[in-house]
Amino acid sequence: MTAARVVVTAATSEWAQTAAQMATGYAASVIGCDTEAGIECFLPPDATPDGRPGVSLLFFAFSRDSLQKALINRVGQCILTCATTACFNGLPIVKDKSIRIGGNIRYFGDGWQSSKKLEDRRFWRVPVMDGEFLCEDLFGTCKGVAGGNFLILGKSQRAALDAAEHAVAAIRQLSNVILPFPGGIVRSGSKVGCRYKALRASTNDAYCPTLRALTKTALPHEANAVYEIVIDGLDLASVEKAMQTGIEAACRPGVVRISAGNYGGNLGPFHLKLHDVLQRR
C-alpha cells in the first residue's frame, strides 16, 4: 500500500494528541475506511520542525490518489480545526511520488493565504481565528506493507486480552509501524468473502469459539477467545520486527497458541510465515 507520514505539532502535547486522535479516527481497515492510520510515536519539541510538542502519524491507502484524498479530508477536518496545530511532511520528497496537501488546504484561506519557501520546502499559512495554520505543501509517499498479523489464542477472554495488551505495548516502542485497530487489537478478525455478495469480508468463523460445533474450527479445545494484532509498516523489515516483538510479548500464561490469518497468499506479494519470521529474529 502507499504510505505517508504526517507530523502534527501544537502549543501543548495535549492538543497535538487531540489532533492526532481525531485525524486517525475511523481508519482501522480499508475494507470499510478511506485509509488505515494510527499514531506512530510522540515527539518532543527538539524533534519537530517548529520546536513544539508533536505526534507522528502514519497513513496507508491503495494508491497515491486515494491517500491524497483521504489526507486532504482528514487534515482539513481534524487538524486545521484543532487549536494551535501545524502540519508537516515526515518522509523524503521523491519526484512523481508526492501528494499535495497544504496546496489544497490553502483554499480555506479564501484568498488571504500566503506561502513561504524555506530551502526546498514550501509551506502555506492559512489565517484562522487563533492565528495561522501552517501546513506543508507537499508530502512524500512510499510503498509500505499493510496487514501483517498474528492471532493470540487464549484459554479465556482475560488471558487472551492480557497477552494482546502486552504485545501492543511492546510493538508501540518501535518506529515505522502502527497498529490501526482500536487499542491496537482486533476482536473481529475476518476472512475473505461472504455468503452475502455485498460484503468483501466476513467473520472468521474458524476462530469464533461460539461456532466451533457448527463450522470447521481452527481452535484447539482449550482455546476460548482469540484476538488479532494487525500491523502496518513503512517497509517489510519493520513489519517483521514488529511481529517478532509482539509474538514474544504475547507468550503469557493462559495463551495456548500463536497463529495467523492465512489467506492463501491472495492479499498481496508479501508472505510473513511465523516460523520464518521468528527464526530470522
**CA–CA distance, 234 with 92 (Å, rounded to integer):** 12
Q: What is the pTM of this model?
A: 0.95
Residue 6 has pLDDT above 80, yes or no: yes
Supply the pLDDT for residue 251.
Answer: 97
Chain segment 171-214, per-residue pLDDT in tens: 999 999 999 999 999 999 999 889 998 998 899 999 999 999 99
Percent of the chain with pLDDT over 70: 100
267: pLDDT strictly greater than 80: no
Contacts of 97 (CB under 8 A, 6+ apart): 64, 140, 141, 142
Cβ-based neighbour number of residue 31 at 10 Å: 11
What is the average pLDDT across 22-51?
Answer: 97
Pick from 120, 107, 38: nearest CA to 76: 107
pLDDT at 281 over 80: no
Q: Closest Cα to residue 231, out of 243, 221, 219?
A: 243
**Share of residues in the chain with pLDDT > 90 (%):** 90
Lookup: cell for 166: 502486552
| Domains by residue range for the chain, with CATH | 2-142 (3.30.70.520), 145-280 (3.30.70.520)
* pLDDT higher than threshold 90 for residue 113: yes
Task: Work out the average pLDDT over 154-181.
Answer: 98
The pLDDT value given to residue 263: 76
Length of the chain, in residues:
281
Q: What is the dihedral of CA 266, 150, 59, 62, to 10 degrees?
A: 0
Q: Pick the closest to residue 171 from 262, 122, 240, 84 (CA basis).
A: 240
Alpha carbons 190 and 65: distance in angstroms, whole number: 27
Q: Which residue, among 197, 195, 225, has the nearest Cα to 210 in the 3D structure?
A: 225
The whole-number average pLDDT for the span 19-45 is 97
The span from the CA of 231 to the CA of 110, in Å, is 40
Mean pLDDT value across the chain: 96
pLDDT of residue 264: 72
Instruction: Check: CB of residue 231 under 8 Å from CB of residue 171.
Output: yes
Q: What is the pLDDT of residue 7?
A: 98
Q: Please say if the pLDDT value at position 46 is more than 90.
A: yes
Please provide the distance, in angstroms rounded to a whole number, between the alpha carbons at the two ends of the chain: 25
How many CA atoms lie less than 13 Å away from 184 in the CB half-sphere?
Answer: 23
At 52-105, the pLDDT tens digits run 999 999 999 999 999 999 999 999 999 999 999 999 999 999 989 999 999 999
Q: With b meaning 16 or more CB within 10 Å and e meaning fewer, what string describes 158-167?
A: ebbbbbbbbb
Burial of residue 3, with CB atoms counted within 10 A of its CB: 0-12 exposed, 13-18 middle, 19 or more buried: buried
Average pLDDT over residues 4-28: 98
Residues 129-143 have pLDDT tens digits of: 999 999 999 999 999
Q: What is the pLDDT of residue 262?
A: 80
